[in-house]
Amino acid sequence: MVTGSCMCGTVRFRVDADFSTAGYCHCTRCQHRTGVPLGALSGMVAADAVEILEGADSIRTWRPDEGFPKSFCASCGGHVWAGEPGSGGVVAIRLGALDGDPGIRPRWHQWVDASPDWEPLPDDGLPRYPGPREQD
């Protein structure tokens, strides 16, 4: 079990299962969402295992035409996850939102073709996928 929150602490949540995988996404959406050119690190976990403890009213969600809905805190803008907690699917938790060790380490980089040339990826030995990662 690990807890997490947004930057200001209004939104608090708990994850009660092991992450199935974790990795960096370098897509342009993640770049604009984070404001960071290097990949955003998320961990995948069963949506049923994500419980909102506080601040449900402050969660705002952007629902693009395709891809997971992206949720963040209305007060501070801090990212919390993509996906629908409690839906029976999978939620991608922003690992930087966690209070402790997620118990998993990054395993891949995806959408590396979208990563800017002026900020090279670190040579960390992880598999790199030009587009979406292959399922592992």
Site residue total, Zn ion (CB under 5 A): 10
**CB of 31 closer than 8 Å to CB of 20:** no
Q: Should residue 76 be labelled a site residue for Zn ion when binding is judged by CB under 5 A?
A: yes
Q: Should residue 2 be labelled a site residue for Zn ion when binding is judged by CB under 5 A?
A: no
| Rounded Cα gap, residues 46 and 130, in angstroms | 26
> Residue 110 Cβ, how far from Zn ion at the closest point, in Å?
7
| Rounded Cα gap, residues 28 and 130, in angstroms | 13
Interface residue with Zn ion among 59, 73, 91, 112 (CB under 5 A) is: 73
Interface residue with Zn ion among 30, 92, 97, 112 (CB under 5 A) is: 30
Q: Should residue 10 be labelled a site residue for Zn ion when binding is judged by CB under 5 A?
A: yes
Give CA separation, 119 vs 11, 26, 95, 114, in Å.
32, 11, 21, 11
Query: For binding to Zn ion (CB under 5 A), which residues are involved?
Result: 6, 8, 10, 25, 27, 30, 73, 75-76, 78
